[in-house]
């Protein structure tokens, strides 16, 4: 059972375009995180959102946590080739400190 569904799974765009990646669930999460993974490396944390409706910005990346804390989105403005990578959302699952991940969105930004 995939508790976190990401869409789209693949995205190929031209440099300068805008894009949005979605992370949805039927469950309420106390927090959600977004990670970025480059080929041959482990994921790296981009942001953590903890409050429903919260918006955080990281340069050209804007992250939003849904009001009901069941979904989150990542918006990239004027994408650059350096944004290419796998974007993963993650949230705490049950008790005990586990973090569950969505299946990821593979982004390719062409010059």
Partner 1 sequence: DAGITQSPRYKITETGRQVTLMCHQTWSHSYMFWYRQDLGHGLRLIYYSAAADITDKGEVPDGYVVSRSKTENFPLTLESATRSQTSVYFCASRAGAHTDTQYFGPGTRLTVL
- Minimum CB separation of residue 91 from partner 1 in Å reads 8
14 versus 61: smaller Cβ distance to partner 1: 61
43 versus 85: smaller Cβ distance to partner 1: 43
Q: Which of 26, 42, 59, 111 binds partner 1 (CB under 8 A)?
A: 42
DSSP the chain: --SSEEE-SEEEEETT--EEEEEE-SS--S-EEEEEE-TTS--EEEEEE-STT-EEEETTEEEEE-TTSSEEEEEESS--GGG-EEEEEEEE-SSTT-EEE---EEEEEE-
Residue 57: partners with Cβ closer than 8 Å, 6 or more residues away: 63
| 97 near partner 1, judged by CB under 8 A | yes
Which region among 15-23, 25-33, 55-63, 71-79 touches partner 1 (by CB under 8 A)?
25-33
79 versus 105: smaller Cβ distance to partner 1: 105
Q: Which of 48, 62, 73, 84 binds partner 1 (CB under 8 A)?
A: 48
Phi, psi for 49 (deg, rounded to 5): -115, 135
**Footprint of partner 1 on this chain (CB under 8 A)?**
6, 9, 30-31, 33, 40-45, 48, 50, 88, 90-92, 96-104
């Amino acid at each position: 059972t995939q508790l976190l569904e990401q869409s789209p799974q693949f995205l190929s765009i031209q440099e300068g375009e805008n894009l949005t990646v979605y992370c949805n669930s039927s469950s309420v999460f106390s927090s959600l995180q977004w990670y970025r993974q480059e080929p041959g490396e482990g994921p790296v944390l981009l942001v953590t959102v903890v409050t429903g409706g919260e918006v955080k910005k990281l340069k050209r990346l804007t992250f939003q946590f849904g009001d009901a804390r069941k979904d989150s989105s990542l918006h990239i403005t004027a994408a650059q080739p350096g944004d290419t990578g796998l974007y993963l959302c993650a949230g705490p699952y049950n008790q005990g400190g586990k973090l569950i991940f969505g299946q990821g969105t593979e982004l390719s930004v062409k010059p």
